[in-house]
Amino acid sequence: MENEKLSLPNYNIPEDIQNVVAITTLDRLYNWGRRSSVWPLMFGLACCAIEMIAAQTARYDMARFGMEVMRPTPRQADMMLVSGTVTKKMLPSIVRLYNQMPEPKYVVAMGACASSGGPFKEGYNVVAGIDKFLPVDVYIPGCPPTPQALIAGLIKLQEKIDKQSIKTVRWYDKNKADSNYVPMPILGPDLIDVRRNEEYKKAAATKESAS
Amino acid sequence: MTAPASTQTVDLAARFPESVTADTRPGFAGFIVKKENLLEVATAIRDEFGYDLLTAVTGVDYLAENKMEVVYHAYKTTGGPGLIFRVQVERADPVEVPSVTGIWLGAEYQEREAWDLMGIKFSGHPDLRRILMWEGFEGHPLRKDWKEAFFEEEVKPFKSRWPDGQHTYAEFKNPFRDNLSFPENFDPEKYEPENEKDLYASLENHTLKGEGGLKTDQIVVNMGPHHPSTHGVLRVAVTLEGETIMGLKPVMGYLHRNHDKIGERNTYLQIIPYTDRLDYFNSMSNNFGYCTTVEKLMKIPVAERAEYIRVIMAELSRIQNHLIFIGMLMNDLGTMYTPSLYAFEERELILDIFEAVSGARMMCNYFRFGGVVRDIPDDVLQKIKDLVVERIPAKTDEMERFLNDNEVLMGRLKGIHVINAEDAIKYSVTGPVLRAAGIPYDLRRADPYSIYDRFDFDVAVRYNGDLLDNYLIRFDEIRQSLRIVEQALKGMPQGPINSQKPAYQVRVPAGEAYGRIESPKGELAFYIVSNGKPNPYRYHVRPASFVNMTAIEHICRGSKIQDFVALLAMLDIVMGELDR
Ligand code: SF4
């Protein structure tokens, strides 16, 4: 497993100090620190947010996994938990929040709505999944996912963090500095994703002839 | 028993023979008012006939008849059945109807919604802008000839999405391969966004002017849509002078999930799970309101045992809602987390009961037309009993003891005025906020539905209309709800839990119905027009949060910015219901 390779330094400790010294990799240490203090953005969109709050409270207690420090400002957050229906009207704000988060940052799509539009997919104001705009790390199914499911999803995220290596992660790579920047969508006659302008133009020009 | 909302106690047509006719369509009630005379008639309805509370204003688009209709439901705060009157105009884009905001201020946001979603222009409206969608959006979505980008068929159930064993995606049917629709030859690069000029212009128009003396600068602050104390994705643009709020405009629609439009495509049964997601704290109450309305249309009775189950569930829901309200209020006031942890602990126990009866913690989908979907097992009944007799009363007392002796809390709540009785009625505010202002208007008593007339309970009422009363009245209501549940548990008979056979399709005769219940947040009502088909022709939700929000400008202007979150919290809004 990749994870094990990252954690085992492959270095022989002389026998006489084996009980005194432990050796691990920098990756392991670095990941351990990050995975145990993932600070989520305090950010609720809809019904799923209520289950997110419930997961913070006494019975489920997300603090056991180092995730209880909800940060209302994106500048201090590591993880965006998209908890609820993403509407077109809200999307520019979500993208802005995401862009304001410092690297390393993760996105967890909680619930059917954030993953795909869910029960409201057909709605005219609904974005069919946040992954159309942001890179999602973990999807949690459910409507709403129970707090247990949410915690299971977050443990998955921790497993993902465990597999990352300091040598290859994008946020230390000078050339990839802005690789995660998402251009702001615009609210026009409908939602305009500026990355797809050309496509829209083409489709709009042929729209009449097609239908 | 339930008084049908259509019972007329006044004869408007006799009073205005020239301009009012009775609505004689089968299944419909009320009066049709000529557009030119609307304001005159409406004034008489309020002043002469005493219908001081305008609860709902909404539009209906009769495409086949080339007509658009605006329906008004007015009630008396002294109780009793309501009065329905409507204006019919020829269909155009846009149609024009005079605004009744001069008579009932509570119509303001509802008329904006009708403009936004149906393209009905209300002349004389003080601030007619889009409310749920953004300015610049193309079209008015609730018109019957407007189709969403993922349009498949007029109504559900849709044809198979797996024709010939091949799966198709909604995306493939759209030229933009997404949930988008742009006008023909649209060029996104040349598009100039609106940039909310209208919002700020309107904010400026509705700002108080400073009172001479020292000249100060006003600043505009935007709170939300991402803000921890706006209870979801609400945004408020505030003009401040020092610490005083001089003007404010809420911006909503950040969670507008097109409930009405999706509802009109769904079959009656399919709507029930969607109503769960309106006020997501109280899915049981939402189910209750919706099923009551459809039952009214179908004219079917509800099984006796189910009536009791319904009341128990609705009241348990109210208890946990108010507990959360108290916890969240403390969060907003700065007692971060501890009180809300106490509240959530009790809530979990109530959710356990919901889960035991319905299978889901939050989205219960438990009610059916004529009853409920599953019976309550005896051990769950015992659990409920233990909760309402022992645990929750003790915990409520404990919470009250912990909080109400706190000087800081009292200092922040006492004497901060929210709204007085007169204004609350004018702004169509309902629920605990109205009752804290001294009006004992509770639909469980004022316009009884289900079997609430069998229980002995008091309508919680307080008289100061300040933050403290608004806060304490929640404790009163918890105690009354506990009383109701206790009695319901005692009186619950054995028997079937549904008066109907389970069915995927129900037959709903043509007509209209307006069903209202006392949800924990105020009056929750559904307005449904049926044309006899398996889907509602018009489906409209009148949520308490949305209409109560109409008063927010009035409530907050002139108060201090630090009280703003507390004032907002008192309205107990929830975005799923507010934006739908
Ligand atoms: S997935 Fe379900 S519970 Fe979550 S936001 Fe969407 S509708 Fe609400």
Cβ atoms of B78 and B52 closer than 8 Å: no
Label residue B1 by pLDDT band (50, 70, 90).
very low
CA distance A147 to A61: 9
Would the CB atoms of B175 and A210 count as touching at under 8 Å? yes
First to last CA, chain B: 31
Quick one: which of B393, B269, B396, B376 has its CA closest to B312? B376
Element (H, E) at B246: strand B244-251
B526 neighbors B296 (Cβ within 8 angstroms): no
How much is the pLDDT for B3? 43
Closest CA to B225 of B186, B256, B266, B197: B256
What pLDDT, on a 0 to 100 scale, did the predictor assign at position B6?
Answer: 44
The confidence score (pLDDT) of residue B176 equals: 80
Q: Is the pLDDT of residue B43 over 50?
A: yes
pLDDT of residue B2: 41
Q: Mean pLDDT for chain B? A: 87
pLDDT of B566 reads 87
CB B284 within 8 A of CB B311: no
Chain A partners within 8 Å of B286 (Cβ): none
Tell me which chain B residues have a C-beta less than 8 angstroms from the C-beta of A43.
226
Q: Of all protein residues, whose CA lies closest to atom 6 belonging to ligand 1?
A: A113
Q: Chain A contacts of B262, Cβ < 8 Å?
A: 120, 122-123
Distance CA B574, CA A47 (A): 10
- State yes or no: pLDDT of B195 exceeds 80: no
Strands B95-98 and B120-123: parallel
On the question of pLDDT at B434 being above 70, the answer is: yes
Residue B265: list chain A partners with CB under 8 A: 122
B24 pLDDT tier (thresholds 50, 70, 90): confident
Q: What is the ipTM of this complex?
A: 0.86
Type of residue at B57: V
CA distance B23 to chain A (A): 34
Q: pLDDT grade, residue B214 (50/70/90)?
A: low
CATH topology of domain B259-542: Cytochrome-c3 Hydrogenase; chain B (1.10.645)
Residues whose CB falls within 8 Å of the CB of residue A153, separated by 6 or more in sequence, listed in order: A108, A110, A138, A139, A140, A145
**Per-window interface: A 5-34 vs B, CB < 8 A:** none
Ligand 1 centre to CA of B259 (Å) is 13
Query: Which residues, other chains included, contact B274 with Cβ-Cβ below 8 Å and sequence gap of 6+?
Result: A119, B259, B262, B263, B266
- The yes-or-no verdict on residue B210 having pLDDT over 80 is no
Contact (Cβ atoms closer than 8 angstroms) between residue B508 and residue B296: no
- Coil, helix or strand for B371? strand
Q: Is the CB of A85 under 6 A from ligand 1?
A: yes
Q: Is the CB of A144 under 6 A from ligand 1?
A: yes
For residue B97, is pLDDT > 70? yes
Where residue B473 falls among pLDDT bands split at 50, 70, 90? Answer: very high
**Measured from the CB, is residue A140 less than 6 Å from ligand 1?**
no
Mean pLDDT of B207-228: 76
Q: Identify the pLDDT of residue A145.
A: 92
Are B150 and A197 an interchain contact pair (Cβ–Cβ within 8 Å)?
no
Dihedral sign of CA atoms A71, A73, A75, A81 in order? positive
Mean pLDDT of B84-96: 87
Q: List A residues 64-93 in contact with B (Cβ-Cβ < 8 A).
A: 72, 84-85, 87, 89-90, 93
Cβ contacts of B116 on chain A, cutoff 8 Å: none
Q: Are B446 and B425 in contact (CB under 8 A)?
A: no
| Torsion B378-B474-B110-B14 (CA) sign | positive
* pLDDT confidence tier of residue B353, bands split at 50, 70 and 90: very high
- Pocket lining: A50 vs ligand 1, CB cutoff 6 Å: no
Give the range among A80-89, A92-101, B10-19, B203-212 with minimum mean pLDDT: B203-212
- SS3 readout for B28-88: CCCEEECHHHHHHHHHHHHHCCCCCEEEEEEEEEECCCCEEEEEEEEECCCCCCCEEEEEE
What tens digit of pLDDT does each residue of A177-188 get? Answer: 666 788 888 888
Chain B contacts of A51, Cβ < 8 Å? 361-362
- Domain boundaries, given as residue ranges, for chain A: 3-33, 37-185
Q: Which atom of ligand 1 is nearest to the CA of B362?
A: 3
Share of chain B above pLDDT 90, in %: 25
CA atoms within 13 A of residue B506's CA, in its CB half-sphere: 25
Tell me the domain boundaries of chain B.
Answer: 12-123, 194-257+543-580, 259-542
Nearest chain B residue to A196 by CA: give it.
B188
Query: Which of A52, A113, A122 to mutate against chain B (most B CBs within 10 Å)?
Result: A122
Q: Could you confirm whether domain A37-185 is CATH 3.40.50.12280?
A: yes
Pocket test for ligand 1, best of A47, A94, A116, A139 (most atoms within 8 A of CB): A47
Ligand 1 touching residue A31 (CB < 6 A): no
Does ligand 1 come within 6 angstroms of the Cβ of A49?
A: no
Banded model confidence at residue B193, pLDDT cuts 50, 70, 90: confident
Residue A149: DSSP 8-state: H
Average pLDDT score over residue span B75-85: 87
Q: Which residue of B has its CA nearest to A56?
A: B341
CATH of region B12-123:
3.30.460.80
Give me B173's structure tokens: 């049917």
Largest CA distance in chain B: 79
Beta-carbon separation of B175 and A211 below 8 A: yes
Q: Is the CB of A143 under 6 A from ligand 1?
A: yes
B175 to A58: CB separation less than 8 angstroms, yes or no? no
**Contact across the interface for A200 and B148, Cβ inside 8 Å:** no
Q: Which residues of B touch A86 (CB under 8 A)?
A: none
Strand partners, B527: B514, B540
CATH code linked to domain B194-257+543-580: 3.30.390
A40 lines ligand 1 (CB under 6 A): no
Q: Do B254 and A205 touch (CB under 8 A)?
A: no
* Res B315 pLDDT > 90: yes
pLDDT attached to residue A4: 60
The mean pLDDT of B486-502, rounded to a whole number, is: 89
pLDDT band at B78 (very low <50, low <70, confident <90, very high): confident
Cβ contact (<8 Å) for B149 and A124? Answer: yes
Of B175, B228, B258, the CB nearest to A120: B258
Q: Which among B185, B191, B255 is the nearest to A87, CB-wise?
A: B255
The predicted-structure confidence for B106-160, as pLDDT tens digits, reads as follows 899 999 999 999 889 898 888 888 888 888 888 889 988 888 888 888 888 888 7
| C-beta atoms of B362 and A144 within 8 A | yes
The per-residue DSSP string of A14-72 comes to PGGGTTT-----HHHHHHHHHHTT--BB----SHHHHHHHHHHSTTT-GGGGT----BS
Whether the CB-CB separation of B274 and B547 falls below 8 Å is answered with no
- For B155, counting Cβ atoms within 10 Å of its Cβ (0-12 exposed, 13-18 middle, 19+ buried), the class is middle
Distances (CA, A) of B318 to B35, B237, B551: 41, 31, 23
**How many A-B residue pairs are in contact by the CB < 8 A criterion?**
178
Q: How many Cβ atoms from other residues are within 10 Å of residue B554's Cβ?
A: 15
Q: In terms of Cα–Cα distance, which of B291, B260, B302, B296 is closest to B81?
A: B296
The tens digit of pLDDT for each residue in B240-274 reads 888 888 888 899 889 899 999 999 989 999 999 99
| Tokens read off for B181 | 């629709």
The one-digit pLDDT tens for each residue of chain A (211 residues) are 455 655 566 777 788 887 787 778 888 888 888 888 888 888 888 888 889 888 988 888 888 888 878 888 888 888 998 988 999 989 999 999 999 888 888 999 999 999 988 889 888 899 988 988 899 999 999 989 999 999 999 999 999 998 888 888 888 877 766 667 888 888 888 888 888 888 888 877 776 544 4
In tens, the pLDDT along B500-521 reads 888 888 888 889 999 999 999 9
B22 pLDDT higher than 50: yes
Q: Residues B485, B302: contact at Cβ < 8 Å?
A: no
Written as one letter, the residue type at A28 is R
d(C-alpha A75, C-alpha A191), whole Å: 26
